[in-house]
Amino acid sequence: MLSALSPLDGRYESKINELKNFFSEEALIKYRVIVEIKYFLKLCDTLPQLNNVSSSDKEGIKAIMSEFSTEDAEVIKETEKTTNHDVKAVEYFIKDRFRELGLQENVEFIHFGLTSQDVNNTAFPLMIKGALEEVIMPALGAVAEKLHDLSEEWKGVPILARTHGQPASPTTMGKEILVFIERLDEQIHQMEEINIKAKFGGATGNLNAHKVSFPDIDWRAFANEFVEEDLSLSRSQYTTQIAHYDQLAALFDALSRINTILIDLARDFWTYISMDYFKQKVVEGEVGSSAMPHKVNPIDFENAEGNFGVSNAVFRHLSGKLPISRLQRDLTDSTVLRNVGVPFGHTLIAYKSLLKGLNKVVINQSKMKEDLEANWAVVSEAIQNILRREGYEKPYEALKALTRGNNQITKESIANFISELKVENNIKEEMLAITPQNYVGYY
């Protein structure tokens, strides 16, 4: 769509299509209908005034949500032009469908005792939960699975480490990938522990209208059962007119931390590509540069990093804004929450770009070996600590004098240094066996 204001609905539309089922305007309307219908059906099991609703009637009522269409959403949007209230338009739509089913005497129990936020603050959590379970977590899982494969494939591949950008004790590429796997696993576990909660309690959270209308019914138990059993969410017990959003804020912060870890990963892979530790598979037809035909740019990692950045900016605004509301409610949460699909969209694009990049990298072991061979000074740490073990006097200083500022440290100069040490021959042999390629610790 060349006229789209957002790249999510333009350039990147094909990459985030599956999220439209959860975060589009049509999806929001549909989820509101689902909440209203399920609530009415719950009332049918509770109120004697609804005993006349038969099993076949209930099937017809369920079809209002199960067969909900784009045309239905358009009808509701047209009604909204008159009501200037989105949830009221949904209520009127359902009432019209009830009349078509011959249930006109029951229409006033649609939206009974509710405020619009009872619908919104259950619809949005349902949308977010669905998007997480069906789209976001599978996409993140694909990235994690690829990282597991790469960590196993590169388990024994030694590389020269870089701390502060300088040559440091060698490691393996497989272990470096495991660092990210462990970080992701921990954050995913923490995120999965977050209860996605819903607000369902009437105009100011106290179920006032319910209690005054039917004082003998335990409406708190009703609300808990409805939210937990019918909607598979968790109900906040004490709220104002709106949800306090603390759990959603925690979820957005958790996703932001996961994205930050993957930004770190994308930058490392970008750097390894720039160091020639990774080559990239050439994709037929792709152009790396408009001016330099030889280039294969790391655009997938760059694209991922950029989209993670946009996503995190919005996630952090949502988590910082939503839990704050003046007294029993102001409207700022409503306009902000309508953007909830934006960070999920950019996150999904980033996951897909990152996975594409990971699938294109090919390890360049010859360059890694070359760098290791050019940096024999890194074994000085190993020699120093063996000398410490043997009680050698000032081993650190001895190695420092040999290596610091000396650009000519080679296998031979290390061997010469060892040969002049006043230690037993078997200790010298132990130190001579150490190379930049095998001094990698546990991997």
Structure confidence by residue, pLDDT tens digits, 252-295: 999 999 999 999 999 999 999 999 999 999 866 565 554 555 56
User: pLDDT for 283-340, tens place per residue?
Assistant: 665 655 545 555 679 999 999 999 999 999 999 999 999 999 999 999 999 999 999 9
Confidence band for 1, pLDDT divided at 50, 70 and 90 = confident
Q: Mean of the pLDDT values across residues 234-262?
A: 98
User: pLDDT for 164-209, tens place per residue?
Assistant: 999 999 999 999 999 999 999 999 999 999 999 999 999 999 999 9
Residue with tokens 């009127």: 92
287: CB partners within 8 A, 6+ apart:
none
Which of 6, 66, 289, 419 does the annotation list as catalytic? Answer: 289
317 is catalytic: no
How are beta strands 234-235 and 197-198 bridged, if at all? parallel
Max intra-chain CA distance, the chain? 102
**Closest residue by Cα to residue 380 from 358, 360, 410:** 410
By percentage, how much of the chain surpasses pLDDT 90?
91
How is residue 372 written in tokens?
A: 């290791």
Q: How many other CB atoms sit within 10 Å of the CB of residue 260?
A: 15
Rounded CA-CA distance 72/96 in Å is 11
Q: What pLDDT shows up at residue 282?
A: 81
Which of 14, 55, 56, 164 does the annotation list as catalytic? Answer: 164
By percentage, how much of the chain surpasses pLDDT 70?
96
Rounded CA-CA distance 121/33 in Å is 13
CA 385 to chain centre: 43
- The pTM (predicted TM-score) of the whole model is 0.93
Q: What pLDDT shows up at residue 290?
A: 47
**Closest residue by Cα to residue 279 from 384, 193, 169, 365:** 365
232 is catalytic: no
**Closest residue by Cα to residue 55 from 68, 45, 65, 67:** 45
Cβ atoms 322, 113 nearer than 8 A: no
Q: Mean of the pLDDT values across residues 96-108?
A: 97
Q: Mean of the pLDDT values across residues 135-156?
A: 97
Q: Mean of the pLDDT values across residues 7-26?
A: 96
Which residues are paired to 278 by β-bridges? 363
